[in-house]
């Protein structure tokens, strides 16, 4: 889609990583192995780097922009309100493909989720819900490593607090490719959606402990690989646009 194998320019950022330079070398190797021949991953690990005119010029010319994993709060804090963020947004509006893995994917929405899970030391990390880069609209919230890290409850809590949002939990080795309002699932896993718009009972504003949370009529589904999901209508494309064969069969059955 980006033309990377034909020499189109790709730029990436490992800003979210705790080891920006190490992650940079790994991604350069991986993207080269994937066939990309014109890749740049400048070091951006502080806000002053996000004003570098050379980097901003590269972004504006890029056909693809990649955001690596790590800490989405760090990524957004570093880029938000900078000339680099503006350049990424402009490139997106001009047709560049923006993609991210892990934290890079979580930061693409207007609202970003982090925390509310146990860290490596066994301590509960406080939940963070705050501004993201705002490139993926439709009032969505992205979570990653979803099935593998058992993050369904985390997404329940987030949507209970902000029921106007729709959560999208993306499994590992899986991607949601979005074109306009249609997302197509590819890879080895699936994408779980959590839609709070139909909730009938929700005590999220009254409880202080996770086990006390009560929420009813929360709409949850899984979109498997190869399936499409309409982000605007929050429904499977297969249900919104039944195959023509099903329509013909219905008419034949009705005629009988």
Among 49, 58, 85, 102, the active-site one is 102
120 is catalytic: yes
Maximum CA pair distance of the chain?
A: 72
Q: Say which residues have a Cβ less than 8 Å from residue 35's Cβ, sequence separation at least 6.
A: 4, 5
Sign of CA dihedral 122, 157, 135, 85: negative
Cα separation, 98 vs 203, whole angstroms? 37
Among 53, 120, 126, 254, the active-site one is 120
Cβ burial, residue 205 (10 Å; 0-12/13-18/19+): exposed
8 A C-beta contact, residue 45 and residue 90: no
Sign of CA dihedral 52, 70, 155, 169: positive
49 is catalytic: no
Which tokens is 52 given? 């570098």
Among 17, 49, 85, 145, the active-site one is 145
Which tokens is 13 given? 């950022």
Residue with token string 């509006």:
93
At how many degrees (to 10) do helices 83-93 and 72-79 cross? Answer: 100
> Would you please indicate which residues are annotated as catalytic (active-site) residues?
102, 120, 145
């Amino acid at each position: 889609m980006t033309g990377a194998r034909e020499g189109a320019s790709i730029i990436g950022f490992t800003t979210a990583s705790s080891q920006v330079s190490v992650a940079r070398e790994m991604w350069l190797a991986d993207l080269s192995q994937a066939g990309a021949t014109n890749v740049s991953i400048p070091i951006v690990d502080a806000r002053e780097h996000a004003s570098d005119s050379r980097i901003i010029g590269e972004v504006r010319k890029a056909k693809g922009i990649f955001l690596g994993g790590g800490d989405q709060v760090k990524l957004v804090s570093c880029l938000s309100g900078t000339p680099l963020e503006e350049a990424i947004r402009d490139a997106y509006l001009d047709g560049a493909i923006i993609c991210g893995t892990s934290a890079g994917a979580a930061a693409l929405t207007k609202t970003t989720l982090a925390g509310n899970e146990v860290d490596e030391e066994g301590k509960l990390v406080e939940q963070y819900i705050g501004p993201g880069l705002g490139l993926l609209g439709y009032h969505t919230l992205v979570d990653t490593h979803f099935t593998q890290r058992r993050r369904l409850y985390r997404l329940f809590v987030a949507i209970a607090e902000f029921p106007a949002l729709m959560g999208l939990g993306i499994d590992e080795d899986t991607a949601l490719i979005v074109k306009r309002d249609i997302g197509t699932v590819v890879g080895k896993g699936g994408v779980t959606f959590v839609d709070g718009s139909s909730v009938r009972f929700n005590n999220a504003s009254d409880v202080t402990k996770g086990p006390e949370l009560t929420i009813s009529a929360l709409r949850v589904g899984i979109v498997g690989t190869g399936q499409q999901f309409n982000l605007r209508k929050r429904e499977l494309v297969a249900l919104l646009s039944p195959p023509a064969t099903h329509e013909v069969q219905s008419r034949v059955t009705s005629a009988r």
